[in-house]
Chain A
Amino acid sequence: MSSRIPLVPENAVPLPSLKANNGLLSWVSSIDHKQIGIMYLIITLIYFLLGGLEALLIRVQLAHPGNDFLTPELYNQLFTMHGTTMIFFVVMPFLIGVGVYLLPLMIGARDMAFPRLNALSFWLFFFGGILLYYSFFTQSGAPDVGWFAYAPLSEKPFSLNKGPTYWALGLLASGIGSVASGLNNVVTILTMRTPGMTMRRIPLFVWMMLVTSLLLVFVIPIITAAFAMMLLDSILGATFFTPAHGGSAILWQHFFWGFGHPEVYILILPAFGIISEVIPVFSRKPIYGYEFVAASTVAIGLLSLGVWAHHMFAVGLGNAANAYFSLASMLIAIPTGVKVLNWVATMWGGRINFATPMLFGTAFIIEFVVGGLTGVAIASVPIDWVVTDSYFIVAHFHYAIFGGSVFAIFAGVYYWFPKFTGRMLSETLGKWHFWLTVIGFNMTFFIQHFLGVMGMPRRTYTYYDMPYWGSMNLISTIGAMILGLSVLIFVWNILVSLRHGRPAGDNPWNAWTLEWATTSPPAVENFELVPPVRGRRPLWDLAHPDMPDEPGAKTV
């Protein structure tokens, strides 16, 4: 595909030639949404390996009681960097990247609404990550204050190293990129649709990206403001979070979770979108209850903005506040449950093809429901008080973010890889990857529920030899190794299939949305001719003119 690299639009006077037809320059200078999307995917894969390596080091340290494989200082840096990397430099940018690649194709557009802003978003993300990781090479080391870096504990005099400053600066930069992406997505979806592609017909992935993008635009500025305050505190000696000088010790927590809870939905809604594309195609049925899936997304988006204080039940906000937030948090289970039921109903009675994308899609439903159910449990204040800051919470959010988002990401990669590259991923390696992931993931994290209930605190460098703790942690560590192996198989699959994969053709899965109407990989201009859109499944309508999805759309 490097032979069809786009650069700037046609100019009356030709610009100085940057048109090296391939090579690094064509990527670095690209404003094509497909190239930018692929760069997102490659960089997030690298960060995924880094974050995974950090996780494995953590698990090795915890493999048996009293271990001294890592120093406490390094351990703190590793769990901080693991969380920060996985949230901000893997799951979120992957979903943004896959959105950037697919949104214009799915709505039949030529590119994003603002191609240069798109490139800027990517490079802000890229350099934000480098700034964060550069901290490893500084004298005081990487940030070591947890992925939520509670101020004032992350500030002087409690934390004297420079890590949190790198953390705040790196995330500030990439956060600005995310806001720009959010705006770009919203404008693209609202204004660039091909004729006939109305808001009631856009693919559900596009719906979810719309809500996600609005969340990005609304909530990233909250944390950006908090980063600015933290930087003012640490560099200029302000005291936003120091009660002794008129600041507030829980202000940071409000800011962080005011952003942090909607962030959870930023991580999961596009994953819901991927699943809502994969499940119908591999069940050979239209999605059951398109309207409910779309509307429940809006409900989740709005609800997510007002429930952050459930992360703060242990702070002491008072029983009244706790009760209200507990109630509101449980409400989120309703629209989420609606979605799960819709996916299951889509599969019900379908001719299910368990190719690798569908395996991951199906497993997503199961693993995510586990994370969702523990979520409802800890929305109840007394339960939260018992298990907060224990391994139960670690298990809960890994089921939501790994069992949820990352499983969906794997489903999406196997599903769209043929479109991205023109070649299929290997099904054999894919099945190995899938089963090792399922085994490794559940082995690592399910047992952590029990560890948490038995009182093992999270972020602990090591632990005493309490009954069963050693063996349970060892099981968890072995699971993590299996998970690591599965990721290596995944990477191997990508590398091998890029060269030797079976050619995909335009529409290997016999899918129905517009991205499958063009070549794989798509040409620079995306489509020579966008097929007419008269329903939610344009390619179905095209193939079956006598029984279109919307009866009124029958032409001829």
Chain B
Amino acid sequence: MSVLHFLGTAWSFEPWAVIFALALIASYAALPGSRLNGKSLLFASGIFLMVLALVSPLDYLGRNYLFSAHMVQHILLLLVIPLMLLSGIPEKAAEKALALPIAGGVMKFLGNPIPAWLLGVGSMWVWHMPSLHDTVMKNENLYIAQQISFVLTGVIFWWPVFAPVKSGRLAPLAATLYLASACLGCTILGMLITFAGAGLYPAYANPADPAGILSYIRNDLCITPGVDQQIGGLTMWVPGCLIYLAASMVTIARWYASPEPDTVNIPAGEGSIAKAGSYVRD
């Protein structure tokens, strides 16, 4: 099978992916007071990218051939797409939605930095335990649960940094620390996968080759199972980390750009006595 032919045919219009996308769109439309604007475009692009990641040949490759393809999909679903979705929610609509008892209560708990961090980083670590990953590859339902959980935990993870309502956001330096520590978690896992011996995820060692492109991958692209695992680990590690890093830059930029004074008022002309422990809140 030629590569072009493969890219043309390896699309899988899985109903659950479409239903999930429609459900997200419906809940977006149901947000009180939401209307179409630039932010909706961001949200729509997020949905589009998500559907693309779930039905395109990337998904096919990730499920049948390449761990590295799985990892690209994973980073898209866990880090990129949720950020687009979350940034697409208008502030006013979110405020009204959070005023509802259930939605407000749930986000009040999940939007705390500790549960959000644990879910965001945990979803990387847990789903990449080799035995679990192997099981997921063989079980369609678990696979669906995994993909959906990536998106949901991703949204929760970004909440303390990019929540549509300002009150949900961490202070800038705390947000940077939150992101840097998540980057560390992601780095360590990426490192483990990169430097572990080949064959950490046995499903990719000898794929069944349903599309007949294995010899192209192994011989023409020279991607052996070992190299494949390395690329996968490195994709999590380096680009993954860069996303966290870019997000911390955005946080700091937002902080410097914000007009509100972050200082206590000092009376005109007066100085103060330097003493140990005089504390200034930002």
Chain A residues within CB distance 8 Å of chain B: 104, 108-111, 113, 191-201, 254, 291, 294-295, 298-299, 302-303, 305-306, 318-321, 324-325, 327-328, 331, 525-527, 529-534, 552, 555-556
Bound together, the chains give a CA A531 to CA B268 distance in angstroms of: 11
The smallest C-beta distance from A462 to any residue of chain B, in angstroms, reads 38
B256 contacts A530, C-beta separation under 8 Å? no
A-B contacts, 8 of them at CB < 8 A, read A109-B278, A110-B276, A195-B263, A195-B266, A526-B274, A530-B273, A532-B266, A555-B268
Q: Is B230 an interface residue (CB 8 A)?
A: yes
A210, closest chain B residue (CB): B173
Query: Which residues does chain A contribute within 8 Å of B264, judged by CB atoms?
Result: 195-196
Of A291, A328, A527, which is within 8 A of B274 by CB? A527
Say what secondary structure dominates the interface of chain A.
Answer: loop
Q: Is B148 an interface residue (CB 8 A)?
A: no
Most B Cβ at <10 Å: residue of A192, A195, A529? A195
A529 contacts B272, C-beta separation under 8 Å? yes
Q: Is B261 an interface residue (CB 8 A)?
A: yes
A305 contacts B187, C-beta separation under 8 Å? yes
Q: Is B275 an interface residue (CB 8 A)?
A: yes
Bound together, the chains give a CA A305 to CA B245 distance in angstroms of: 11
Contact status of A299 and B245, CB under 8 A, knowing A109-B276, A195-B278: yes
A194 contacts B272, C-beta separation under 8 Å? yes
Query: Which residues does chain B contribute within 8 Å of A294, judged by CB atoms?
Result: 252, 256
A532 contacts B249, C-beta separation under 8 Å? no
Bound together, the chains give a CA A327 to CA B241 distance in angstroms of: 13
**Chain B interface residue count: which class?**
35 or more
B180 contacts A302, C-beta separation under 8 Å? yes
Contact status of A303 and B245, CB under 8 A, knowing A194-B272, A555-B269: yes
The smallest C-beta distance from B171 to any residue of chain A, in angstroms, reads 10
B280 contacts A197, C-beta separation under 8 Å? yes
Most A Cβ at <10 Å: residue of B226, B234, B249? B234
Q: Is B194 an interface residue (CB 8 A)?
A: yes
The smallest C-beta distance from A119 to any residue of chain B, in angstroms, reads 15
6 smallest CB-CB distances across A and B, nearest first, come from: A555-B268, A529-B271, A291-B256, A324-B234, A320-B230, A295-B252
Which residues of chain B from 216 to 265 have any CB-CB distance to chain A below 8 Å in the complex?
226-227, 230-231, 234, 237-238, 241-242, 244-245, 248-249, 252-253, 255-256, 261-264
A197, closest chain B residue (CB): B280
Bound together, the chains give a CA A294 to CA B248 distance in angstroms of: 13
A530 contacts B271, C-beta separation under 8 Å? yes
The smallest C-beta distance from B125 to any residue of chain A, in angstroms, reads 18
Contact status of A532 and B272, CB under 8 A, knowing A195-B280, A198-B282, A200-B256: yes
Query: Which residues does chain B contribute within 8 Å of A192, judged by CB atoms?
Result: 276-279
Bound together, the chains give a CA A510 to CA B269 distance in angstroms of: 20
A199, closest chain B residue (CB): B282
Bound together, the chains give a CA A305 to CA B181 distance in angstroms of: 12
The smallest C-beta distance from B245 to any residue of chain A, in angstroms, reads 5
The smallest C-beta distance from B230 to any residue of chain A, in angstroms, reads 4
The smallest C-beta distance from A441 to any residue of chain B, in angstroms, reads 34
A318 contacts B278, C-beta separation under 8 Å? no
Q: Is B176 an interface residue (CB 8 A)?
A: yes
A556 contacts B268, C-beta separation under 8 Å? yes
Contact status of A532 and B276, CB under 8 A, knowing A198-B263, A331-B242: no
